Amino acid sequence: MRFFKLLLLSYTFSFFLSGCGLFLPAHSHSNFRDDEIVKVEFITMEDLCEKSEYKDIRTDYNAANPVPCDQKVKNDKENSQESVLGAALASAAIGFAVDFVQQKIEEESTLYEAQFEETILRQDFWDGEKQRYGAIRVTREVPNTFFEGTSTAFEFVLGLFPSHDNQLFIAIPLQFRTNYAKAKVLSDELWWWLLPTSWLGKILQHDEHRIDTNVAIEMVGYWRDKDQLLHTSTIAGFDINFNAYDLNKRELWRYSELGNFPKFPAGPKAFFAGAPKSIKGGNYVGNGSFITKVLVTERDRSNASKYLKELAKVVGEQKDQIITVINERISQPESTAKSSTQSKK
């Protein structure tokens, strides 16, 4: 019991003198929260298959798809995808009925974590009657620590593929990387071992310097029926987990290199429908209007949240005793000094 009181005393001092940053030091590649820029980019099939800037993504797309990228573009130009379009128009009757992103926020709200999100609106899901987009890329930029400009803190690429029967689409993760986590992750870096206030972090940790990341995606389609009544329908709602990502290594997890990354969530992860088209004068018009919401949740894998709550409870219950012990320790040097002066006389 005495040891625990001394431990509380030590960390109470640490808290007031140095603040939480030193109380539980963050990993040098975590806790990047300020001035972030989150982007969601839809990459067209043509750009994905032809532009050099998407070469690496194209490699992973081809690895996940039995039909090579360039061959698919050629096939789409020669043949329409009426069956996929028909499925999209029927999706109005499917509906997922649940605000998926809102649900994820509520589920995760009490955990030791950080979140970032973005919502974009587009009016071009379809290219006539063909699939327009082959991938979605989500990035988060943060200010560069040493130079002007920004650094890519987070990157995730999701491949979009037609199902074998051309009735739905399939979502397959292609790439994932975190360079700078928004969530605070307990540090086990060597230079922090010299600071006694960081030792509690070693006790709280159970999985070194790793984070769990959840990417939740929701798509909502908007269209007017033959009577010009406005409708909305959730055409996609799913999430993908990337667990035990090592912040020390910060590797690019890729579908084309699955053997090197056993934690990569390989394979199809969800079905979703296309954006419905509106009807006007008995004909389909537009190319499919839809909103895409992306919510990313990062979570430290340590027991920090659990034990900090317990510690806070104990500190609250032992408040009077802690204050007494602190006052004794503060006054002790003065008493010792007076005794020393008197002995010299």
* Number of C-beta neighbours around residue 145 at 10 A: 9
Residue 215 lies inside a defined structural domain of this protein: yes
Whole-number Å distance between alpha carbons of 329 and 335: 10
Residue 274 lies inside a defined structural domain of this protein: yes
If one counts the domains in the chain, the total is 1
Whole-number Å distance between alpha carbons of 299 and 295: 13
304-317 and 319-344 helices cross at what angle (nearest 10)? 70
207-229: pLDDT as tens digits? 567 889 999 999 999 999 888 99
> Contact 116/138 with Cβ under 8 angstroms?
no
Mean of per-residue pLDDT scores for the chain: 74
Residue 314 lies inside a defined structural domain of this protein: no
Among 147-156, 161-170, 209-218, 317-326, which is the least confidently predicted range? 317-326
In angstroms, how far is CA 228 from the centroid of its own chain? 38
Residue 178 lies inside a defined structural domain of this protein: yes
305-323: pLDDT as tens digits? 555 555 556 556 665 665 6
Give me the count of residues in the chain: 345
Backbone angles phi, psi at 231, to 5 degrees: -130, 155
In angstroms, how far is CA 103 from the centroid of its own chain? 15
* Number of C-beta neighbours around residue 168 at 10 A: 21
Residue 333 lies inside a defined structural domain of this protein: no
Give the structural domain span for 71.
29-185+209-304
Residue 296 lies inside a defined structural domain of this protein: yes
Q: What is the mean predicted confidence (pLDDT) over 89-111?
A: 45
Backbone angles phi, psi at 305, to 5 degrees: -60, -45
Residue 19 lies inside a defined structural domain of this protein: no
Residue 1 lies inside a defined structural domain of this protein: no
For residues 252 and 333, the model is more confident at: 252
Q: What is the mean predicted confidence (pLDDT) over 241-269?
A: 89
Q: Which of 180, 177, 176 is nearest to 153 (CA)?
A: 180
- Residues 6 or more apart whose CB falls under 8 angstroms from that of 94 comprise 233, 235, 273
Tell me the β-bridge partners of 122: 290
